[in-house]
Amino acid sequence: MKIEATLRYPADCHRVSEVTLDPEFQDAKCIATGALSHEVDINTDGEHAIIKTVRRMPTSDLPDFVRSLVKDGITVVETDEWGPPETDGSRDATVDVRFAGAPIEMRGTLTLRPEGTDGENAVARLQANLKANIPLIGGRIEKACAQAVLAAIKVEERTAGEWLTAQ
């Protein structure tokens, strides 16, 4: 199942990248998305960066047939590997999301680009494929997971906006 989302930020690409690579922001993002617990690991090598978050998420908002598969919550492991920024702050990342203990994964790309006449704002676009390798009900699980992923993305966008305007 294709997942596409656009996130808009009230800051330029350089500032958005700076915030994205801040461990305190990543903590705030995990908490805002309702994580029961989380870990954040950020590694930079020159202008490349890898952000890995491990979140233990509740399943209360998932349909009953999905909750029955992951009764005590689900661990979501997200790895975003960012390439170097361009002079305008544009960056590209590969995104890999795994749902531990379940044959579900999401892989795709995230692009960060300037927006507005002077590039004073930034926009990120996610294009990914979500796949649940479960016979018979995989499509239903993909739809349920897609809704949860898109809801989390909106929370992350709002959290980033608050973070960017407060700092």
Query: For the chain (length 167 residues), average pLDDT per consecutive 10?
Result: 96 95 96 95 95 89 62 86 96 94 90 89 96 80 84 93 88
pLDDT of residue 80: 97
Give counts: helices (H), strands (E), the chain.
Answer: 4, 7
What CATH number is given to the structural domain containing 162? Answer: 3.30.530.20
Task: Tell me the one-letter amino acid at 70.
Answer: V
pLDDT of residue 38: 97
pLDDT of residue 68: 60
Q: How many CB atoms lie within 10 A of CB 44?
A: 11
pLDDT of residue 134: 76
pLDDT of residue 116: 80
Please tell me the total count of domains within the chain: 1
pLDDT of residue 146: 87
pLDDT of residue 96: 97
Question: Are 131 and 106 in contact, with CB atoms under 8 Å apart?
Answer: yes
Report how far residue 102's alpha carbon sits from residue 104's, in angstroms, rounded to the nearest whole number. Answer: 5
Sequence-separated contacts (24+) of 40-48 with Cβ below 8 Å: 46/84, 47/83, 47/84, 47/85, 48/81, 48/82, 48/83, 48/84
Task: Tell me the one-letter amino acid at 7.
Answer: L
| Residue 66, burial from CB neighbour count under 10 angstroms (0-12, 13-18, 19+) | buried
Q: How many CB atoms lie within 10 A of CB 74?
A: 23
pLDDT of residue 147: 86
Question: Are 149 and 106 in contact, with CB atoms under 8 Å apart?
Answer: yes
Cα-based torsion angle of the residue sequence 81, 85, 91, 93 in order, rounded to the nearest 10 degrees: -10
pLDDT of residue 70: 63
Domain assignment of residue 124, given as a range:
2-166
